[in-house]
Structure 1
């Protein structure tokens, strides 16, 4: 879900080729993919929990799945908070 910094494309090269509308669409697509990943992890927790209840998996897998989903949700909340802070900062700028 997260790209290591060394693998990010050159931002200056991208700015020359992408229009603002395309950049917005790309960012929206990235966010949708990330949120879909969090939702998939939540579904996985429910599935693993059900499997645990019928004795198909051990408690370690349940704890691992729950922790991964919790971390993903926490990261998503932090990204949301940073986006909101950036938006508020832009709105405070004087033109």
Structure 2
């Protein structure tokens, strides 16, 4: 569920979110749709746990978008087509 920053900022919270929100909603084991959904619910939970104010919603949305972009770029560079182009150069 994102970069190492999220894993190490609050390790206990990270493990709780993974165990009780991310994995039960599908996580990365059931394909990209469930990964996006699970990640969004985890950020949404943190947002509403802290009061759900406007700035928290923006925080959650921007972080969710950042994680999606990060995972998308990681998947793109992991593809065999792009990897062969990078290796050839």
TM over 0.5, yes or no? no
TM-score, normalised relative to structure 1:
0.41
Query: Which of 1 and 2 has greater Rg?
Result: 1
